[in-house]
Structure 1
């Protein structure tokens, strides 16, 4: 970890700066996502994502891979959206 900027303020807990190395295309995906999701900034989005990953560790890396693959399939037209009703029908058929 690099030297951290630990600026403190009266607005909340002490914040520490963390540096990440990301590919340009991944950063572009992050930027598009935080804007689409309505976050105020990239930093706010990344804090939310990191907090969610720490608070919900049961959601595995494999689960994230499956979501990413499904999202890719939807965006490229290789898959179709399924309605809530269709999902419930599929769940009932498994029992």
Structure 2
């Protein structure tokens, strides 16, 4: 979160409306996601996503694509969930291959 978003001055930060063009299919994915994740609104979810992108700019666009593809595979049944331990083992194997 930015300093403005987390300030406890009692005043709400000034909100500015923006326009964003998205494909209908992507908007449907966003709507399903914010509701599944327990956000109160689409706007709250998009603000959260934008904050993450600003706060963690080192996380590559390719990384986001991989996460989105994995989410799609999980939802479509083309992939299975793996445990943290399995992920750690995979990462160890990748390091050994280098």
TM bucket, shorter chain: 0.7 to 0.9
Distance in structure 2 (CA, Å) of the matches to 1:81 and 1:55: 27
Tell me what 2:33 maps to: 33
TM-score, length-scaled by structure 1: 0.77
The CA deviation string for residues 9-53 of structure 1, in whole angstroms up to 9 with x for no partner, is x74121110001111111111111111111111111111111110
Distance in structure 2 (CA, Å) of the matches to 1:92 and 1:14: 46
Unaligned regions of 5+ residues in structure 2, if any? 1-9
Tell me how far 1:91 sits from its aligned partner. 3.6
Distance in structure 1 (CA, Å) of the matches to 2:92 and 2:23: 43
TM-score, length-scaled by structure 2: 0.75
Is 1:61 aligned with 2:61?
yes
Tell me what 1:4 maps to: none
Unaligned regions of 5+ residues in structure 1, if any? 1-9
Higher normalized contact order (CA 8 Å, seq sep 6+, divided by chain length) = 2
Q: Secondary structure at the match of 1:19?
A: coil
Counting helix residues as a fraction of each chain, which structure ranks higher? Answer: 2
Q: Secondary structure at the match of 1:18?
A: coil
Tell me how far 1:92 sits from its aligned partner. 4.1
